Amino acid sequence: MDNAWHFYISGVMGTQSQIIQLGYSSPCSLYKGFPMIRLFIVVVFAFFLVSSFSYSQALYGHEMNQFRERVAIPIESKQDIARLVKADIEIDRCSLEEKTVYAYATPEEVKLIEYLGFQATLSPDIIGKNTRENSYHTYEALTAKLKQFAKDYPSIAKLESIGQSVEKRELWILKISDNVEEDEAEPEVKYVSTMHGDEVVGQEMFVYLIQLLLENYGKDAQLTALVNDLEIWIMPNMNPDGTAKKRRYNSQWVDLNRNFPDVQSDINNDPTGRAVETQAMMKFSGSRNFCLSLNFHGGAVVMNYPWDTMAGDPPNVELVRFLCLGYSKRNIPMYKSTSFKDGITNGYDWYEVNSGMQDWNYHWHNCLDLTVEVSQQKWPGADTLPQYWKDNKESLLWSLAQARRGIQGIVKDKVTQKAVEAKIQVSNISKVFTTNKGNGFYNLVLMPGKHTVKFTAPGYEDYILNVLVEDNDVKIYTVNVNMIPQIR
């Protein structure tokens, strides 16, 4: 930076904001002959910036987000990204190829950014327009569409609400399965979109997907098998208030993807004090037994996998990367990315995200959750939607089929034949899985090869299972387990 100071002038509630460079010299230049005084001024100025920022965050909490605007910050390296994260700057996305970080910042945070040696210029998201042929669903239109799906296909589609948003909009999720009213012993898969309200392409992809599955049931063998074999749960919009306001945050200015219990800093999986949308998702996910999940975002085109919050590979990284590559290879623009090799990335290697839903799902519920960044522009013109569907259709279907990869079964007491709540450990995977509390069902998505699977439960002898998993995502291999009670 040169000696000129930069000030961020921001209006409130949508008024124009800009970076203004005031052409006068830094006060420190007045004291070039007095190094100790210069040092004192710099220290006091830095203390003022950091203290005022921390105070305002503590005082206003999420309400400070209403003063945030999207800015572009030129960078040179990953170290620059790390410095911004350490300063608690809320990063939207970053690109070493573009040498730019896009972030949401308050006026005070912009001052902090500039004190750290960066510049910040306003870079608002562009909201694409609807056309006569294509348009985005409003909450009302989406609600009507989902209700119509459930009405037209009552034997395979069931619409539920997992809760309400701050402004009392229903958080709709559609279950698709052959015996939709039953809680069957089948692999459960969850697709969620638009937890950031202005990232809406995924919402429309899910409407296309739902229609494809329902209309072709009993007609297309591949699609019929997916519905018969799985319990598929699809939530087109987790943040309907944010979408209605065309903004990232929910109605109380909470970023839902920074609002879940963090893998490192939270020792309890506690929903208390979190956004109502977050609480609803936590309660719902905790009541199910999902093995795979995709959550859709916008602002880049890439498959992002855990961890987001810390360095290092997640358990079962071979499977994780396999699933990411499988999606990417079927989405040509993603696979041919010039920003990400083969269109995939480890979250932390890209940029650190704390308290995100992806890590929470995998850490607390053993549900392998992958983030699909589906569009470079968050809210592109609606005329682009058919092409996005073309790009993602096969990837979405292939990802559903992967829930059939591996083994599944029911764990019971050998004597009483009652369900047993057991813990499951797989060789070479540093993670403990569990059976369904109600029916003893388990589902392990595994890579091809030999695996040793150990079942343990209080009051029972350990059960060791050696299995050979074939390279197959069409047929589900069922291995039921009868556990022997210990003799006392």
Amino acid identity of residue 195, one-letter, is M
Distance of CA 285 to the CA centre of its chain: 14
> Which residues on neighbouring strands pair with residue 453, listed in sequence order?
426, 465
- Strand, helix or coil for residue 184: coil
Q: What is the distance between the alpha carbons of residues 173 and 289, in angstroms, rounded to a whole number?
A: 16
The sheet with strand 157-164 has its strands ordered as: 157-164, 170-176, 231-235, 188-193, 290-297, 368-375, 300-305, 344-346
CA separation (Å) from 410 to 299, 396, 419? 41, 28, 7
Residue 205 CA, distance from chain mean position: 16
* φ, ψ dihedrals at 362, nearest 5°: -75, -40
> What dihedral angle (degrees, nearest 10) is formed by the CA atoms of 249, 97, 129, 199?
-30
- Residue 140, SS3 per DSSP: helix
- In sequence order, what E strands does 109-156 have? 121-122
Structure tokens at 76: 């040179």
Asked about 373 being catalytic, the answer comes back as yes
Please report, as a single letter, which amino acid is at residue 461: E
* CA distance between the termini of the chain: 76
Residue among 76, 373, 394, 470 flagged as catalytic: 373
Distance CA 309, CA 324 (A): 18
| Biggest CA-to-CA distance, the chain | 89
User: Do the strands 463-469 and 344-346 form a parallel or antiparallel pair, or are they unpaired?
Assistant: unpaired
Characterize 75-113 residue by residue with b for buried, 16 or more Cβ atoms within 10 angstroms of its Cβ, and e for exposed. Answer: beeeebbebbbeeebbbbbbbeeeebbbbbbbebbbbbb
Helix (H) or strand (E) holding 445: strand 441-445
In total, the chain counts a number of residues equal to 488
Closest CA to 470 of 443, 442, 449: 449
Active site residues: 373
